[in-house]
């Protein structure tokens, strides 16, 4: 609708300007005819006096019409400029609100996905093979747990690996020992997700860490979820150790940010991102800055919104959480580069609307 308003405004301006130009041309011709008529009336002497008066009035009327045409042209140009400004603001507000909805949708998809990860870790921590691996600690029990973890991984392809860790922080079994041979025996006692899992209140609680590259898993970006493995698999059982599961972050997150519903033109001028609570880029549709860039998001205390910052329109939405997953304060963000949007037509940002109508 906003584009239609601008299109109509510029069409009115174009048609009006064209017709005024035609009027001015006619008036110039009329003034010339009036001048010639006065000359001929002068030559005719007394007999042409009355005709000379008419010719003079014709010239006067022509001048008045020309003056009115010029005033009309100025008035139309000024009002069309106002309509263009208002229309551009409406377009920015419409686009900002729409991108805000898309940013919210992106972070909600991630939240729902990660809610499932929190469910997985709490469920698998009660698996008999996992519990017995720590309760017994025998080679047979550890081998059985390794087999069980491998079976889970064959079905749940979104994970890179699953680890069983004893109470001292040593990994005693993992689901892909052939792929990640350096995991078994690894000390993770200082990892925040391990410490958090050992301090969980009960089997319904879990710990989660921000997305980070894991050296033990080939440098891949992972989301680590963990909870205590408890005696007898009971909700309130004594913590025997920890189950850590490692979500293969990059391909899942990339599918979300590249799958946002933008048109081809919008994609050419937009960057879709997921940011953590510290505004670190953890996924980006253009693949730039992931895990390194701190994005200058000006969200203040708002849960969602949009703003113009220089030549960028930035729309954002903070994670609302999902079910029992409270979220980690992450954001979905859509950045639209206004300068590139305008330069695509070879015009300044202010003239972008004119380009759309002239096309």
Average pLDDT, consecutive stretches of 10 residues, N- to C-terminus, the chain (359 residues)? 61 72 72 68 65 62 70 70 67 89 95 93 97 96 97 96 98 97 95 97 94 96 97 96 98 95 92 96 96 94 92 94 85 89 46 40
Does 169 fall in a domain? yes
Tell me, yes or no, whether 126 and 246 share the same domain. Answer: yes
* Residue 98 in domain: no
Statement to judge: residues 239 and 280 lie in one domain:
no
How wide is the angle at C-alpha 89 spanned by C-alphas 87 and 90, nearest 5°?
60
| Domain boundary pick from 252, 270, 301 | 252
Which residues, including other chains, have CB under 8 Å from residue 244's CB and lie 6 or more apart?
Answer: 121, 162, 163, 165, 188, 193, 194, 197, 224, 225, 226
What is the pLDDT at residue 134? 97
Q: Are residues 139 and 162 in the same domain?
A: yes
pLDDT of res. 312? 93
| Domain match, 319 and 239 both | no
Of the candidates 128, 119, 169, the one whose C-alpha atom is nearest the C-alpha of residue 149 is 128
φ/ψ of 292, rounded to 5, equals: -120, -40
Does 346 lie in the same domain as 277?
Answer: yes
CATH of the domain at 74: 1.10.287.950
pTM over 0.85: no
Domain boundary among 229, 252, 275: 252
pLDDT at residue 166 in the model: 97
Alpha helices in the chain (DSSP H): 2-44, 49-124, 128-135, 139-155, 192-198, 249-258, 264-269, 338-343, 352-358
Q: Is residue 292, in this structure, part of any structural domain at all?
A: yes
Domain boundary among 252, 285, 318: 252
pLDDT at position 278, please?
A: 94
Cα separations (Å) of 223 from 55, 106, 116, 132, 208?
A: 90, 17, 12, 26, 8
On whether residue 21 sits in a domain, the answer given is yes
- Please give the pLDDT value at position 80: 64
In the prediction, which pLDDT does 357 show? 35
With both helix axes pointing from N to C terminus, report the angle between 49-124 and 249-258 in degrees, rounded to the nearest 10: 160
Indicate if 132 and 213 belong to the same structural domain. yes
Exposed/middle/buried for 355, CB within 10 Å: 0-12, 13-18, 19+? middle
Same domain assignment for residues 246 and 284: no
If asked whether residues 144 and 157 sit together in one domain, one would say yes
Give a yes or no: residue 232 inside a domain. Answer: yes
Range of the domain at 31: 2-89
Residue 108 lies in a domain: no
Q: For position 171, which CATH number holds? A: 3.30.450.20
Measured distance CA(257)–CA(108) in Å, rounded: 12
3-class DSSP assignment, residue 280: strand
Tell me the C-alpha distance between 289 and 106, whole Å: 18
Same-domain status, 340 and 280: yes
For residue 268, give the CATH number of its domain: 3.30.450
d(CA 227, CA 180): 22
- Say if residue 301 is in the same domain as residue 277: yes
Predicted local distance difference test score (pLDDT) of residue 356: 38
| Number of domains composing the chain | 3
Q: Residues 153, 218: contact at Cβ < 8 Å?
A: no
Same domain, 210 and 269: no
In a domain, 106, yes or no: no
């Amino acid at each position: 609708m906003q584009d239609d308003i601008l299109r109509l405004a510029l069409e009115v301006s174009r048609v009006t300007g064209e017709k005024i130009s035609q009027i001015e041309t006619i008036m110039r011709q009329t003034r010339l005819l009036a001048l010639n008529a006065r000359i001929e009336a002068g030559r005719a002497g007394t007999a042409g006096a009355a005709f000379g008066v008419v010719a003079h009035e014709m010239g006067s009327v022509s001048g008045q019409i020309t003056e009115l045409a010029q005033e009309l042209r100025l008035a139309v140009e000024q009002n069309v400029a106002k309509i263009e400004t208002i229309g551009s603001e409406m377009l920015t507000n419409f686009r900002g609100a729409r991108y805000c909805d898309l940013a919210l949708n992106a972070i909600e998809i991630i939240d729902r996905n990660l809610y499932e990860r929190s469910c997985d870790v709490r469920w698998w921590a009660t698996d008999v093979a996992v519990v017995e691996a720590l309760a017994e600690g025998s080679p047979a029990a550890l081998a059985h747990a390794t087999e069980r973890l491998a079976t889970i991984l064959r079905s749940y392809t979104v994970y890179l690996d699953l680890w069983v860790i004893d109470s001292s922080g040593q990994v005693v079994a993992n689901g892909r020992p052939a792929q990640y041979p350096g995991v078994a025996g690894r000390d993770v006692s200082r990892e925040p997700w391990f410490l958090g899992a050992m301090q969980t209140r009960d089997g319904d609680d879990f710990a989660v860490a921000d997305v980070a590259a894991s050296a033990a898993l080939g440098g891949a970006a992972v989301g680590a979820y963990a909870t205590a493995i408890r005696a007898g698999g009971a909700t309130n059982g004594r913590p025997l150790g920890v189950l850590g599961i490692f979500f293969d972050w990059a391909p899942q997150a990339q599918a979300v940010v590249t799958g946002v519903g933008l048109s081809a033109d919008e994609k050419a001028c937009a960057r879709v991102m997921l940011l953590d609570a510290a505004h670190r880029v953890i996924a980006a549709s253009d693949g730039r800055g992931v895990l390194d860039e701190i994005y200058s998001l000006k969200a203040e205390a708002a849960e969602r919104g949009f703003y113009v910052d220089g030549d960028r329109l930035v729309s954002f939405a903070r994670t609302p959480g999902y079910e029992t997953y409270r979220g980690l304060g992450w954001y979905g963000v859509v950045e639209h580069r206004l300068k590139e949007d305008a330069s695509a037509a070879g015009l300044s940002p202010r003239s972008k609307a004119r380009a759309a109508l002239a096309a």
